[in-house]
Amino acid sequence: MSLNSFGHLFRVTTWGESHGPALGATVDGCPPGVAIDEAMIQHWLDRRKPGQNKYTTQRREADEVRILSGTFEGVTTGTPIQLMIENTDQRSKDYGDIKDKFRPGHADITYFQKYGVRDYRGGGRSSARETASRVAAGGLAREAIRAIAPDIRITGYMVQMGQHKIDRDAFDWDQIEQNPFWVPDAKAAKEWADYLDGLRKSGSSVGAVIEVVARGVPAGLGAPVYGKLDTDLAAAMMSINAVKGVEIGEGMSAAMLTGELNADEIFMGPNGPEYSSNHAGGILGGISTGQDVVLRFAVKPTSSILTTRRTITKSGENTEIITKGRHDPCVGIRAVPVGEAMMACVILDHMLLHRGQVGENRGVIG
Amino acid sequence: MSLNSFGHLFRVTTWGESHGPALGATVDGCPPGVAIDEAMIQHWLDRRKPGQNKYTTQRREADEVRILSGTFEGVTTGTPIQLMIENTDQRSKDYGDIKDKFRPGHADITYFQKYGVRDYRGGGRSSARETASRVAAGGLAREAIRAIAPDIRITGYMVQMGQHKIDRDAFDWDQIEQNPFWVPDAKAAKEWADYLDGLRKSGSSVGAVIEVVARGVPAGLGAPVYGKLDTDLAAAMMSINAVKGVEIGEGMSAAMLTGELNADEIFMGPNGPEYSSNHAGGILGGISTGQDVVLRFAVKPTSSILTTRRTITKSGENTEIITKGRHDPCVGIRAVPVGEAMMACVILDHMLLHRGQVGENRGVIG
Amino acid sequence: MSLNSFGHLFRVTTWGESHGPALGATVDGCPPGVAIDEAMIQHWLDRRKPGQNKYTTQRREADEVRILSGTFEGVTTGTPIQLMIENTDQRSKDYGDIKDKFRPGHADITYFQKYGVRDYRGGGRSSARETASRVAAGGLAREAIRAIAPDIRITGYMVQMGQHKIDRDAFDWDQIEQNPFWVPDAKAAKEWADYLDGLRKSGSSVGAVIEVVARGVPAGLGAPVYGKLDTDLAAAMMSINAVKGVEIGEGMSAAMLTGELNADEIFMGPNGPEYSSNHAGGILGGISTGQDVVLRFAVKPTSSILTTRRTITKSGENTEIITKGRHDPCVGIRAVPVGEAMMACVILDHMLLHRGQVGENRGVIG
Amino acid sequence: MSLNSFGHLFRVTTWGESHGPALGATVDGCPPGVAIDEAMIQHWLDRRKPGQNKYTTQRREADEVRILSGTFEGVTTGTPIQLMIENTDQRSKDYGDIKDKFRPGHADITYFQKYGVRDYRGGGRSSARETASRVAAGGLAREAIRAIAPDIRITGYMVQMGQHKIDRDAFDWDQIEQNPFWVPDAKAAKEWADYLDGLRKSGSSVGAVIEVVARGVPAGLGAPVYGKLDTDLAAAMMSINAVKGVEIGEGMSAAMLTGELNADEIFMGPNGPEYSSNHAGGILGGISTGQDVVLRFAVKPTSSILTTRRTITKSGENTEIITKGRHDPCVGIRAVPVGEAMMACVILDHMLLHRGQVGENRGVIG
């Protein structure tokens, strides 16, 4: 039982801190024979990389991944794959002035209360930098999925920033890669740019909601009753830094519906069962229906802001703090590739699990 | 790796179906020396028991728990505890007419697609009846917590039913046990009774939001970065039947806040750190702060309603269905004790984990 | 992580004590669609059942297994299978006189030192009675193996009792079921009967070596480097009560060989690779070769004997003890079906794991 | 579930191949506050390092360990510790001539049959080089044990090489570090040197038996019934390359004893229970007694020898092979520090587990 691991058969253990020599992911259980190289993983890492535009932290990290094990002649061998990213822009001097203060909204105080150690260098293990390891592992998972089930596509995007929500009627898949916020709505992207620019200049921050969709997932994935597909997705997303809520399909709004409104009626289509709607988010009883798997998660506003706030020191004295580091006004932006990566890992894991438990998708309708 | 298990050191495996001979929970890792008997567990089970009032299913189950192992002379021995509940009111004839039809919104179709077996008896393993096993395990967890940390109190209640929300200003802990909905607001309880009565008579159903709070939890519980306290809570709640969303503290609304509004400032109180607010829901970086641990989850409306809906048969023919069984108009009501039980299991588990990982709470402030 | 569980995907959790109401096995991960009923499992349990002849304990237990969950209309459904055996002949009065004494060679003292609880009723959880649960689970595993790979045959037998060893030249598979010791050598069976009769009458006991062979196992099972087939087999056998040593293939004698003598040379046979010998016991680098998987384990002599021995009481006083219970002069005899059951569980588990990890046996030679 | 991991709370995942860029161990669950640096781990690695004398492989590896995460200001932080060792002397050309042949006694053929990939570079993941990662993790475990229970001492040594056994009457702890074989018998060390020199010159090899003892282990460690201390030790040792048998205490010889001879009688000593002998090897019912924990394991002779043997190619043709690599005539020598490392990891793991399960050692006698 590693508490820094997730996944059942596709098992990812991340390691490393914000300002240590390196961080990475030890990935066990990747199927053999998957074509993989460092460039393929780098592609995904580059999407999360800081300092790419003015809306994300100006920390400059190359985030270059190295594959240290588990491949031979360009394919996976079935043995553990070590993905390492060296920390190059550590600048630990930046953090010296908050050495003895706990930053409100950060895990500084709870890590100290738990472990008795204060790693003041940028949050240590609790830094969002840990998510680089997840994105690397997710890149590998995507390639393994592509090899096994090429129809599956996993896409994340932002649907809400602060009070601003996208217009669902203007939803456009092609817009997602066209703006720095991964917003599927051209008009929103433009408006949000102005809004965020204001926040950045004032040293404030704001929360966001990310939606991640997996299309082409076959029916039958998920392992009731505690390894359900939605259970594992909820855990995967809630484990991401700053996430405070997770929804599947209708999500929290399901509470407002009646049984009639929430019903996804079933009928036969040309290729099997189809549904009149997808309130369920593609999952019934923890098992995929074959519809799109749809989830959302809420990311709280970055806690590091330029407004003075009250806090205490390690020795228990009341004091104040301003966090001047290089931070993201909306950390939700960089959470998009992280959410995608976690979705990819969970989907692959359940594909392998299904094979191990059942062998093949056996229940054929019609 | 059992996919019907949850917990790290306090490990609960549930087993059994809606209409099999029995169901139960195999609990491994309960500390030795905890005073326990069947009546203590029955107390909690009775809260979830069906047929207690007109708002819950009229299936009549005694839900009597038997302890088959793991105790001696009234205390736990440190060995596995088997909690068994026999199914007495099985009436499988009720389900005969839907034998070949998949009920929309239920897991009938996905279980069949996964396993190739159609257990048409009330949903089989996917029935909410499985949660009786969770409540039994949660009762045991509560007693173990009481023995180790008597200040911890875990309470669940309903905060929303359909469009109706409680008035937070009228919040009254003492009201929770005074009405059949576990609502902490006397006026709401009364109004909701009328509303639900109407739903019941019309054969409809509605969703709900449940809040569960753990008071008295010490700082330092939780195991970053994938065994976080909130990660495990999210998984525990999402694994409950019909749950579609989980929130910690501010939850999905965190997306709407700015960093200034979301900040829980810290200052020294007489017994250690205190906070100006609890947007975090008592958890920072996956570790408890010592504040109340606060979560919410949304339960979708019961899918079994008296309105005709379209569906298909096992052989792939389009048809229609009305579900006439004995069902709950708001299954969220009975989800309250289930949510409490899951919270109790997770809290106990993390108390044991903390001891195993760290030994004692070492980081003392001040 | 349940410490009363074994197996990766085919996951068995045993529960129950010698003198509690019942004991059993919660089995998760059995593939769906396997034909199973209570009689099929009872068949294997009856082989381990006490009181069948004068060489095993005269405790009279019906050892009737009930399937409480996980099957429907005669086949497994893919959900947890609960196998329960009620304790009927508990006679706890037998044990009253040793209530405060620790029996040498038993786990009485260590369980007390660990848990602070003295369950004096026949060893409680540490009783060999726990192995009934293993045999029930093994019976289920055998049926699942039969459904997936009907060529696999798993057979255990005794090769040594005290100083007496079988004559390998007289080895006869057909003899195994013809004598109460599961000895594959007719002459040895006869001689050992006299020897054991003498031991029984004198109230002494003796150890034994059991060999278990799995024939027909395909190449490619096993999961390096810590879930190796031999690693899991060693753990499975060492976890059986009274086992003190485990060997794969050549075993401890491998230490005496030179590289030339130990080499299993490879050549092509009509159906693939063949080997000149099987010093490896069918496993190389933790993965099956396709040869017979061969293991042995040593069972220590029953610790309950009629000779007075020194011991201490719970309160720390020196005293003496004679154990007059109903015991086996050679507990190794009843360990044969237990070893077979563990082999069956491990083999099935690795068949499922292989499918989950690799999908199919991909490396074809020739 | 990582199949390249071992341990429950102190969880070690090893990664890396013989000829990849690096290998290492990802260690999760090390308690916080343990003083550690690279030199402390290097000390243990140097004992296993190849090329130290003429009896071990002449492959020249610096085996320098780097700590990439999990420590801050010289102490562990409670987060994952990454121990990396770069491969410097890879010389993969050495292996070119056996590229398409399977080496008898090696895992070449089974890895290919399982994974469909032939990593011909020195055995890839199945190489004994993987054990360097174990020794690094074991070094960390030793320091953590020292911090928690300074009285525990873990020592391994060779007791048999081929037909030669040590003289138990000449046993001398101080001799172990005085000879290249870790033999606790000065006369044997001298004689074995000549014997091994002959083997080396003739290009042959021989097996060995290693004994590992843990002194000062408190009573109460071990987690019945499938996480027993001896179960975990058996798995740990059997997972080491080339190991074919594992014994606890009396081991396989327990089969030859009667109940009277095998009894370890109990009496009260000045500091608690004492025993007249230690046939049990310090473990009863899977839980430590407080006596020395004693185990042995047999290592088969190195399969790479200079004698021509029959084998086959990937394409299924019969052929012959001589393995000319840089190999150990008795790989058992370098297995001594590996066995010690595994013992250290298992003991630490069970110390943490005990704390998590029970809290403190509660059963006090007297």
Q: Which amino acid is at C187?
A: K
Chain B hits for A315, CB-CB cut-off 8 Å, are: 365-366
Among B8, B10, B28, B113, the residue to mutate for chain A (most A Cβ within 10 A): B113
Tokens at C190, concatenated: 């006869």
D296 is an annotated ligand-binding site residue: no
Q: How far is A27 from chain C (nearest CA, A)?
A: 13
For chain B, helix (H) and strand (E) counts, in that order, are 7, 18
- The mean pLDDT of chain A is 93
CB–CB of B69 and C23 under 8 A?
A: yes
Q: What is the pLDDT of residue A206?
A: 96
| Percentage, residues of chain C above pLDDT 90 | 82
Q: What is the pLDDT of residue B366?
A: 81
B66 CB-contact burial (10 Å; exposed 0-12 / middle 13-18 / buried 19+) = middle
Cα C95 to the chain's mean position, in Å? 26
Q: Residues D240, D297: contact at Cβ < 8 Å?
A: yes
B17 CB-contact burial (10 Å; exposed 0-12 / middle 13-18 / buried 19+) = buried
Q: What is the pLDDT of residue B325?
A: 65
B54 is an annotated ligand-binding site residue: yes
Distance CA B51, CA B46 (A): 10
The residue of chain D with its CA nearest to that of C158 is D255
Cα A316 to the chain's mean position, in Å? 35
Grade residue C233 by pLDDT with cuts at 50, 70 and 90: very high
* A46 within a domain of the structure (yes/no): yes
Q: Which helix (H) or strand (E) holds B311?
A: strand B309-312
Cα C231 to the chain's mean position, in Å? 15
DSSP code of D102? P
Condensed to tens digits (0 to 9), the pLDDT of residues A25-48 reads 999 999 999 999 999 999 999 987
| Percentage, residues of chain D above pLDDT 90 | 82
Q: What is the pLDDT of residue A363?
A: 83
Assess whether pLDDT exceeds 90 at residue A172.
yes
Describe the crossing of helices B332-357 and B38-48 by its angle, rounded to 10 degrees.
140
Q: What is the pLDDT of residue D306?
A: 87
* B330 within a domain of the structure (yes/no): yes
CB count, 10 Å around CB of B22?
18
Q: Which one of A1, A353, A362 has the shortest CB-CB distance to C356?
A: A353
B169 CB-contact burial (10 Å; exposed 0-12 / middle 13-18 / buried 19+) = exposed
Tokens at A64, concatenated: 């270059």
Q: What is the pLDDT of residue B305?
A: 86
A43 CB-contact burial (10 Å; exposed 0-12 / middle 13-18 / buried 19+) = exposed
Assess whether pLDDT exceeds 90 at residue D59.
no
Residues A342, A347, A348, A350: what is their CA dihedral angle, to the nearest 10 degrees? Answer: 120
CB count, 10 Å around CB of D167?
11
The residue of chain B with its CA nearest to that of D359 is B355
Distance CA B186, CA B175 (A): 6
Tokens at D99, concatenated: 């590229």
D300 is an annotated ligand-binding site residue: yes
- The mean pLDDT of chain D is 93
Distance CA B308, CA B320 (A): 6
Q: What is the pLDDT of residue C361?
A: 66
At B261 the three-state DSSP class reads helix
CB–CB of A356 and C353 under 8 A?
A: yes
Q: How far is A96 from chain D (nearest CA, A)?
A: 14
Lowest mean pLDDT among A305-309, D89-93, D96-100: D89-93
CB–CB of C207 and D106 under 8 A?
A: no
Domain count of the fold of chain D: 1
Q: What is the largest CA-CA distance in chain C?
A: 71
Tokens at A338, concatenated: 């992280």
Chain D hits for C260, CB-CB cut-off 8 Å, are: 204, 305, 307
Q: Which one of B4, B20, B79 has the shortest CB-CB distance to C68?
A: B20
Assess whether pLDDT exceeds 80 at residue D297.
yes
Q: Give CA separation, A84 vs A36, A76, C98, in Å.
A: 15, 16, 60
Q: What is the pLDDT of residue D92?
A: 53
Contacts across the A-B interface (CB distance below 8 Å): 422
The residue of chain B with its CA nearest to that of C76 is B117
D302 is an annotated ligand-binding site residue: yes
Grade residue D23 by pLDDT with cuts at 50, 70 and 90: very high
Condensed to tens digits (0 to 9), the pLDDT of residues A269-281 reads 999 999 999 999 9
The residue of chain A with its CA nearest to that of B357 is A115
Assess whether pLDDT exceeds 80 at residue A96.
no
User: Where does chain C have alpha helices with state H?
Assistant: 38-48, 108-115, 131-148, 186-202, 229-238, 259-262, 332-357
Q: Residues C339, C236: contact at Cβ < 8 Å?
A: no
Q: Which residues of C are annotated as a binding site for NADP(+)?
A: 48, 54
Q: Residues B65, B36: contact at Cβ < 8 Å?
A: no
The residue of chain B with its CA nearest to that of A230 is B238
Q: Residues D360, C114: contact at Cβ < 8 Å?
A: no
Nearest one of D6, D304, D319 to D133, comparing CA atoms = D6
Chain D hits for C259, CB-CB cut-off 8 Å, are: 105, 204-206, 301-305, 307
Distance CA C69, CA B17 (A): 6
Q: Which helix (H) or strand (E) holds B208?
A: strand B208-215
CB–CB of D362 and B29 under 8 A?
A: no
CB count, 10 Å around CB of D137?
31
* B301 within a domain of the structure (yes/no): yes
Nearest one of C292, C276, C286, C270 to C216, comparing CA atoms = C292
B288 is an annotated ligand-binding site residue: no
Q: Which one of C224, C356, C362 has the shortest CB-CB distance to A356?
A: C356
First to last CA, chain B: 42
Describe the crossing of helices D332-357 and D131-148 by its angle, rounded to 10 degrees.
40
* B363 within a domain of the structure (yes/no): no
Average pLDDT over residues C136-152: 97
Q: What is the pLDDT of residue C48?
A: 79
Condensed to tens digits (0 to 9), the pLDDT of residues A266-315 reads 999 999 999 999 999 999 999 999 999 999 999 999 988 889 999 999 99
* B248 within a domain of the structure (yes/no): yes
CB–CB of B254 and A207 under 8 A?
A: yes
Tokens at B133, concatenated: 């096993």
Nearest one of D176, B106, B270 to A284, comparing CA atoms = B106
Grade residue A59 by pLDDT with cuts at 50, 70 and 90: low
B326 is an annotated ligand-binding site residue: yes
ipTM for the assembly: 0.96
Q: Residues A246, A230: contact at Cβ < 8 Å?
A: no
B186 is an annotated ligand-binding site residue: no
Q: How far is A80 from chain C (nearest CA, A)?
A: 10
* A268 within a domain of the structure (yes/no): yes
Grade residue A97 by pLDDT with cuts at 50, 70 and 90: low
Lowest mean pLDDT among A83-87, B252-256, D35-39, D319-323: D319-323
CB–CB of C22 and B82 under 8 A?
A: yes
* D67 within a domain of the structure (yes/no): yes
B301 is an annotated ligand-binding site residue: yes
Grade residue C247 by pLDDT with cuts at 50, 70 and 90: very high
CB–CB of D356 and B358 under 8 A?
A: no
Condensed to tens digits (0 to 9), the pLDDT of residues A220-246 reads 999 999 999 999 999 999 999 999 999
Q: How far is A359 from chain C (nearest CA, A)?
A: 7
B293-312 b/e (C-beta count within 10 Å ≥ 16 → b): bbbbbbbbbbbbbeeebebb
Can you give the length of chain D in residues?
366
Q: Which domain holds residue A294?
A: 5-358
Q: Which amino acid is at D246?
A: V
Chains in touch with C (3+ beta-carbon pairs under 8 Å) read A, B, D
Nearest one of D24, D71, D69 to A23, comparing CA atoms = D69
CB–CB of D358 and B224 under 8 A?
A: no
Q: Which helix (H) or strand (E) holds D342?
A: helix D332-357
Condensed to tens digits (0 to 9), the pLDDT of residues D307-339 reads 999 999 999 999 999 977 667 899 999 999 999
Contacts across the B-D interface (CB distance below 8 Å): 41
Residue numbers in chain B where pLDDT is lower than 50? none
Assess whether pLDDT exceeds 90 at residue D129.
yes
Assess whether pLDDT exceeds 70 at residue C96.
no
Q: What is the pLDDT of residue C32?
A: 97
B253 φψ region: left (φ > 0), alpha (ψ -120 to 50), beta (else): alpha
Q: What are phi and psi of A140, to 5 degrees?
A: -65, -45
Q: Which residues contact A327 (CB under 8 A, 6 or more apart)?
A: A57, A205, A302, A304
Pairing outcome for strands D208-215 and D293-299: antiparallel
Q: Which amino acid is at A76?
A: T
Q: Which residue has the higher pLDDT, D135 or B328?
A: D135
Q: What is the pLDDT of residue B189?
A: 95
CB–CB of C357 and A33 under 8 A?
A: no
* D363 within a domain of the structure (yes/no): no
Grade residue D175 by pLDDT with cuts at 50, 70 and 90: very high
Cis link prior to B225 (omega < 30° from 0)?
A: yes
Grade residue C324 by pLDDT with cuts at 50, 70 and 90: confident
Assess whether pLDDT exceeds 90 at residue A61.
no
> What's D114's domain CATH number?
3.60.150.10
Q: How far is C328 from chain B (nearest CA, A)?
A: 25
Q: What is the pLDDT of residue A72?
A: 96
CB–CB of B226 and A239 under 8 A?
A: yes
Q: How far is B73 from chain A (nearest CA, A)?
A: 32
Lowest mean pLDDT among A140-154, B333-347, D143-157, D297-311: D297-311
Chain C hits for D208, CB-CB cut-off 8 Å, are: 255
Residues D320, D324, D330, D334: what is their CA dihedral angle, to the nearest 10 degrees? Answer: -130
Tokens at A38, concatenated: 């460092």
Tokens at A220, concatenated: 């039958």
The residue of chain C with its CA nearest to that of B75 is C117
Chain C hits for A358, CB-CB cut-off 8 Å, are: 31-32, 78
Contacts across the C-D interface (CB distance below 8 Å): 423
Tokens at C91, concatenated: 């006679």
Lowest mean pLDDT among B221-225, C275-279, D95-99, D270-274: D95-99
Q: Which three-class secondary structure string do you get for chain A? A: CCCCEECCCCEEEEEECCCCCEEEEEEECCCCCCECCHHHHHHHHHHHCCCCCCCCCCCCCCCCEEECCCEECCEECCCCEEEEEECCCCCHHHHHHHCCECCCCCCHHHHHHHHCCCCCCCCHHHCHHHHHHHHHHHHHHHHHHHHHCCCCEEEEEEEEECCEECCHHHCCHHHHHHCCCCCCCHHHHHHHHHHHHHHHHHCCCECEEEEEEEECCCCCCCECCCECHHHHHHHHHHCCCCEEEEEECCHHHHHHCEHHHHCCCEEEECCEEEECCCCCCCEECCEECCCCEEEEEEECCCCCCCCCEEEEECCCCEEEECCCCCCCCCCHHHHHHHHHHHHHHHHHHHHHHHHHHCCCCCCCCC
Assess whether pLDDT exceeds 70 at residue D57.
no
The residue of chain B with its CA nearest to that of A14 is B225
Q: Residues D326, C150: contact at Cβ < 8 Å?
A: no
Pairing outcome for strands C318-321 and D5-6: unpaired
Q: How far is A357 from chain C (nearest CA, A)?
A: 6
Describe the crossing of helices C332-357 and A332-357 by its angle, rounded to 10 degrees.
130
A326 is an annotated ligand-binding site residue: yes
CB–CB of C102 and D309 under 8 A?
A: no
CB–CB of A230 and B222 under 8 A?
A: no
Average pLDDT over residues D292-312: 94
Q: How far is A215 from chain B (nearest CA, A)?
A: 17
Q: What is the pLDDT of residue D94?
A: 58
Assess whether pLDDT exceeds 70 at residue D91.
no
Q: Which residue has the higher pLDDT, D301 or C361?
A: D301
CB–CB of B78 and C115 under 8 A?
A: yes
Sign of CA dihedral C74, A356, C68, B53: negative
CB–CB of C231 and D220 under 8 A?
A: no
Among A11, A355, A362, the residue to mutate for chain C (most C Cβ within 10 A): A355
Q: Which one of C252, C276, C332 has the shortest CB-CB distance to D298?
A: C252
CB–CB of B117 and C72 under 8 A?
A: yes
Chain A hits for C363, CB-CB cut-off 8 Å, are: none
